[in-house]
Structure 1
Amino acid sequence: MKFRCSHLDNKDLFSKSDPFLRISRIVESGGSVPICKTEVVNNNLNPIWKPLCLSVQQFGSKDNPLIIECFDFNSSGNHVLIGKLQKSVADLEKLHKDRSGANLTFPSSHQGHEKVLKGQLFVDQFCEKQQYSFLDYISSGFELNFMVAVDFTASNGNPRSPDSLHYIDPSGRMNSYQRAMMEVGEVIQFYNSDRRFPAWGFGGRTGDGTISHCFNMNGSAGAFEVEGVEGIMSAYANALHNVALAGPTLFGQVINTAAEIAGQSISYNRNKYFVLLIITDGVLTDLQETKDALVRASDLPLSILIVGVGGADFSQMEVLDADNGRRLESSTGRVATRDIVQFVPMREVHSGQISVVQALLEELPGQFLTYMRSRDIKPHPLHVAPTSA
């Protein structure tokens, strides 16, 4: 809905009011609970606000009464009431259809009476959209495609040494890298029909003697996909025998490669959404290049889960996660379309505070839905087989 007001009373002495709207739902006890508010329009008695989105969960039913209050904003927090009215969502829809305004009222000194004001509220836009859930998409055939990238930098320690983060224990006890690949892969492969996953390494010296920041873990020059989680685990063990640990720690190339695959899929299959798992032990050398890659990738059907292993300082990863509400910004000043990164330190997993899967599933559905809604991609209608009599 898009609201505007006209002829509001002025509450400021030396300028005009700075109005904003607050919408509240009336609860059973008779009180009211605020459910949303508009931005403040400065110095204006005929304000037009940006569109507001109200969900059915917020207002309950189209016939439930809502209290719409217009305040003059004060930085002290003591906002001054300009006027208010009570309307249901159905009433607001009618105002829009009739292109008519509703007069604001103001509590009068006479008890029970309200003064009708000259100021009016108008609904310039009103539209209803069905909001689909993550499950609606998955159950109608949308798929999550898993990709993994593993850190082969020297800071992990010699893989033959038991204190290395890459040590493969003969007893079968998994190291942090194996555990992260297994836990995330087993969940994601459930949402994927072909179970073929790209598996890369970065920061290692490959067979030809060059240090690569995106090489195929299975050792193949052309085919980067492996079969299932078992294929990932096998390719990882194989790479530890054939790749020398080197450095530095660079994410940019791996993210760009994953983004290229996600970008190509848009033209032929909009049912796919990609999840890149990056497992790393270290501090990034290419922080700004990584930010640039993530900002570019934020327009694509891609989410990235970074798992930090070992005891390094992972404060950079928290910056990439952008959970503080500040979206990433590229070196050219472009801001990410949406947050696509989730970071989990494996030490918190080991201490039992959180599981890798729990961390992934906390943010992935929201990231998936933000992408689908921004592209107006809807779930496929489910075809129900006719029942026989």
Structure 2
Amino acid sequence: MKHRKQDFGKAAWSSKVTAPVIKIDLVIQCKQLPKKDLLSQADAFCVLWRVPNGYTPKIVHGMPCKLPGRQEEERGRTEVARACVHPTFKHRFRLEYSFHEEQTFVLRAYNEDLRYSTDLKEHDYLGGCLFTLGQLMGARGCTLAKRLGHERAILIVTGEEIIETREVLEFRFSCQDLVKERNIIDQSKVLDQCRPYFRLERLNNEDQSWEVVWKSEVLKDTLDPTWSHARLPLQLLCHDNQSNPLKITIWDYEKHSNNHNLLGFVESTVAEIVDKAKDGGIPVFIVMREKKKLFRGSKLKHVGLLKVLKATVIQIPSMLQYLSGGCSLDLMIGIDCTTSNGEWGSEKNMHFSASHWLNDYQAGIMQLGSIAENFARGKNSSIWGIGGKLNDKYFRCHCLEDRLCGGKELLQAYDDNIPDNPDFSLGEPAFLRPLIQSATFRTIKASKKRQCYTVLTVFIAGEIVDLPETVDLICTAAEDAPLSIVLIGVGNGDFTQVQKLCGDENGRIRDSRGIPVAREIVTFVSFKQFAGNATEVIAAALKNIPEQFVEYHAVMNGSKPLPAIPPPKFDEKSTKR
């Protein structure tokens, strides 16, 4: 959602169909464990550590060393599987997976040597592996296998998504006979028309305060409002527990003030609301308002009725479900090749490349490719230039290289075609519409043959000259194409115009006919927002992709995930150290 936490404007906060965090369980298995003791099979157990970004554990013979480094954070240990050659551990590691982040973990397996000792120095080291959650959840069957030190021993890690994180509340509310509070100072305000909206608030268990999680649109001149229907994940509403307290507060919007007037509230739970709305019923809740007594204390006053026109919990497939079934996440990268980058050949030029460091384009491409490659199903990524010149011939939009996969291939394509290309030079101006048009055409064509989704990421150094035409095209693409557009500002230029493609404070962008975009598909971030940190820039840029992905496939297109691809059969010949 694009709103600030206390931005209670006229527009409704965006509905959401994906949980803020996907919870997964790690299931650990071992096969063909060697004997470490003369008279018994291995007594194995495993330990999991989280590794901070940018830190690489010491690798010995293709595996992490026996003991963790100081920066590794232990996340738990399995039970000891006594005298077992092929253990499947009962203990599961519950983790929170975020698509837009690189979450790196180290898993080590040990043979218990000194019983009940917690000191890992006292146990025999069997081996381990280093992996990211993206690699795990993007692997076939969400399963990775690595060979341990012994030539036959295998360590297998499987990620299982928790089903409850897919539950969404679909709801619609209305009110009847709302009563405005009488203004003692200015009696004329009693005659003002009411502009009602409501907020959904959940209880913060830490300090027992109410936290606003969603706000409806503002309606005009009515005491009997009926708001539009909306969807919100239960994780956002009640932390996946339908019995947690939920508060619905109803407000009168004040146009010239941020201090809106509280009309009343209803306290309930998701479970109660859904249960009463079963079988087509329309449950009614009494709206109460606290009224202060003349001398001391207060009492609750009946000020209207809240009707639940619809309330049902539905299951929305997650992005991981689609990807596990073979849906491909394709990457299309656009590079600003205009004079907005600075003087060509100068060290201040944003395409300037040196052997000992990466410029912002290179760092962004590498980080972006390393995340997206986990979910690429084939070589379907490409890199494009905007507004540059080849052999002094200007091009608005040009495919520099196609049929790519992964950060290294994309980075090499950028280096070969721009910084290291003697035939390349900067041009002007920058047109964005041709690139979006190409992306829309390519992804619609590809989607007719296979289930896929395209993330068009455009690195921009300055303003564009075709804003109105681009807005119209984005509104069209949002309806028809499995496409998200990420705009990343490079350098210290003015990106005010580019940011208009994300919409304004009043809501979504509108085309030249005044029709709002069907779904929000554009995200803008810049390197200067994050002091040039490419990891943080790409994480912010990709944060909205799961929501946009699921909204297209599950809500707008109605397509279902394909059956999950089963994991391969692992043996000592098919695994790697």
Percent of matched pairs sharing the same residue: 27
Verify: 1:249 aligned to 2:434, yes or no.
no
Verify: 1:342 aligned to 2:520, yes or no.
no
> Which of the residues 45, 50, 60 maps onto 2:228?
50
Task: Please give the per-residue CA displacement for 1:303-362, whole angstroms capped at 9, x wherever unaligned.
Answer: 223333344333333333448564333334333333333334345566448633223233
- Report the alpha carbon displacement of residue 276 of structure 1 after superposing the two structures with TM: 1.7
Contact 2:251–2:260 (Cα < 8 Å) also in 1: no
Verify: 1:199 aligned to 2:383, yes or no.
yes
- Report the alpha carbon displacement of residue 252 of structure 1 after superposing the two structures with TM: 1.5
- Report the alpha carbon displacement of residue 250 of structure 1 after superposing the two structures with TM: 1.5
Trace 1:43-82 onto structure 2 (pairs within 5 A): 43-57=221-235, 58-59=237-238, 61-64=241-244, 66=246, 77=259, 79=261, 81=263
- Report the alpha carbon displacement of residue 146 of structure 1 after superposing the two structures with TM: 0.9
Task: Please give the per-residue CA displacement for 1:65-94, whole angstroms capped at 9, x wherever unaligned.
Answer: 655566666667463646x66544444345
Q: How far apart in 2 are the matches of 1:241 and 1:364? A: 36
- Which residue identity lines up with residue 173 of structure 2 in the other structure? F
> Which of the residues 373, 377, 395 maps onto 1:212?
395
User: Which secondary structure state, in structure 2, belongs to the residue aligned with residue 125 of structure 1?
Assistant: strand
Which residue of 2 is the match for residue 221 of structure 1? Answer: none
Q: How far apart in 2 are the matches of 1:303 and 1:275? A: 5
Trace 1:293-332 onto structure 2 (pairs within 5 A): 293-299=473-479, 300-322=481-503, 326-332=507-513
User: Which secondary structure state, in structure 1, belongs to the residue aligned with residue 484 of structure 2?
Assistant: strand
Which residue of 1 is the match for residue 314 of structure 2? Answer: 129
Contact 2:244–2:269 (Cα < 8 Å) also in 1: yes
Rate the CA distance shift 1:156–1:16 in 2: closer, same or farther, 3 A.
Answer: closer
- Report the alpha carbon displacement of residue 272 of structure 1 after superposing the two structures with TM: 1.3
Equivalent residues, number: 377
Q: How far apart in 2 are the matches of 1:164 and 1:202? A: 16
Rate the CA distance shift 1:90–1:213 in 2: closer, same or farther, 3 A.
Answer: same
Contact 2:338–2:428 (Cα < 8 Å) also in 1: yes
Rate the CA distance shift 1:165–1:352 in 2: closer, same or farther, 3 A.
Answer: closer
User: Which secondary structure state, in structure 1, belongs to the residue aligned with residue 312 of structure 2?
Assistant: coil
Verify: 1:183 aligned to 2:367, yes or no.
yes
Which of 181-190 and 61-70 deviates more? 61-70
Contact 2:252–2:260 (Cα < 8 Å) also in 1: no
- Which residue identity lines up with residue 289 of structure 1 in the other structure? E
- Which residue identity lines up with residue 320 of structure 1 in the other structure? L
Task: Please give the per-residue CA displacement for 1:193-218, whole angstroms capped at 9, x wherever unaligned.
Answer: 213322222223335x6421122314
- Report the alpha carbon displacement of residue 192 of structure 1 after superposing the two structures with TM: 0.4
Rate the CA distance shift 1:379–1:324 in 2: closer, same or farther, 3 A.
Answer: farther
- Report the alpha carbon displacement of residue 190 of structure 1 after superposing the two structures with TM: 2.0
> Which of the residues 173, 191, 210 maps onto 1:3?
173
- Which residue identity lines up with residue 228 of structure 2 in the other structure? K
> Which of the residues 174, 178, 186 maps onto 2:358?
174
- Report the alpha carbon displacement of residue 371 of structure 1 after superposing the two structures with TM: 3.0
Q: How far apart in 1 are the matches of 2:490 and 2:219? A: 48
- Report the alpha carbon displacement of residue 10 of structure 1 after superposing the two structures with TM: 7.2
- Which residue identity lines up with residue 293 of structure 1 in the other structure? L
- Report the alpha carbon displacement of residue 139 of structure 1 after superposing the two structures with TM: 3.4
Task: Please give the per-residue CA displacement for 1:171-230, whole angstroms capped at 9, x wherever unaligned.
Answer: 4643333333222222212220213322222223335x6421122314xxxxx4346544
Higher helix share: 1
- Which residue identity lines up with residue 145 of structure 1 in the other structure? D
User: Which secondary structure state, in structure 1, belongs to the residue aligned with residue 313 of structure 2?
Assistant: coil
- Which residue identity lines up with residue 252 of structure 1 in the other structure? R
Trace 1:211-250 onto structure 2 (pairs within 5 A): 211-218=394-401, 224-226=402-404, 228-236=406-414, 237-238=416-417, 240-250=421-431
Which residue of 1 is the match for residue 444 of structure 2? Answer: 263
- Which residue identity lines up with residue 125 of structure 1 in the other structure? K
Name structure 1 gaps, 5 residues minimum.
219-223
Q: How far apart in 1 are the matches of 2:208 and 2:533? A: 44
- Which residue identity lines up with residue 211 of structure 1 in the other structure? Y
Q: How far apart in 2 are the matches of 1:367 and 1:298? A: 10
Contact 1:199–1:225 (Cα < 8 Å) also in 2: no
Contact 1:196–1:228 (Cα < 8 Å) also in 2: no
User: Which secondary structure state, in structure 2, belongs to the residue aligned with residue 337 of structure 1?
Assistant: coil
Q: How far apart in 1 are the matches of 2:442 and 2:368? A: 20
Contact 2:274–2:313 (Cα < 8 Å) also in 1: no
- Report the alpha carbon displacement of residue 256 of structure 1 after superposing the two structures with TM: 1.0
Verify: 1:153 aligned to 2:338, yes or no.
yes
Task: Please give the per-residue CA displacement for 1:109-137, whole angstroms capped at 9, x wherever unaligned.
Answer: 8x9997778x6543322322124444344
- Which residue identity lines up with residue 294 of structure 1 in the other structure? I
Task: Please give the per-residue CA displacement for 1:128-185, whole angstroms capped at 9, x wherever unaligned.
Answer: 212444434433433211112223334545655544433443x464333333322222
Contact 2:478–2:519 (Cα < 8 Å) also in 1: yes
- Which residue identity lines up with residue 370 of structure 2 in the other structure? E
Task: Please give the per-residue CA displacement for 1:266-304, whole angstroms capped at 9, x wherever unaligned.
Answer: 3333x3111122223333222333333333333322222
Q: How far apart in 1 are the matches of 2:525 and 2:213? A: 32
Q: How far apart in 2 are the matches of 1:272 and 1:235? A: 23
Higher strand share: 2
Alpha-carbon RMSD across the aligned residues, in angstroms, is 4.1
Contact 1:24–1:66 (Cα < 8 Å) also in 2: yes
Contact 1:158–1:166 (Cα < 8 Å) also in 2: no
Name structure 2 gaps, 5 residues minimum.
1-170, 183-189, 570-577
Contact 1:72–1:79 (Cα < 8 Å) also in 2: yes
Which residue of 2 is the match for residue 361 of structure 1? Answer: 542
Contact 2:322–2:561 (Cα < 8 Å) also in 1: yes
- Which residue identity lines up with residue 187 of structure 1 in the other structure? I
Which residue of 1 is the match for residue 185 of structure 2? Answer: none
Q: How far apart in 1 are the matches of 2:532 and 2:440? A: 33
Q: How far apart in 2 are the matches of 1:176 and 1:372? A: 32
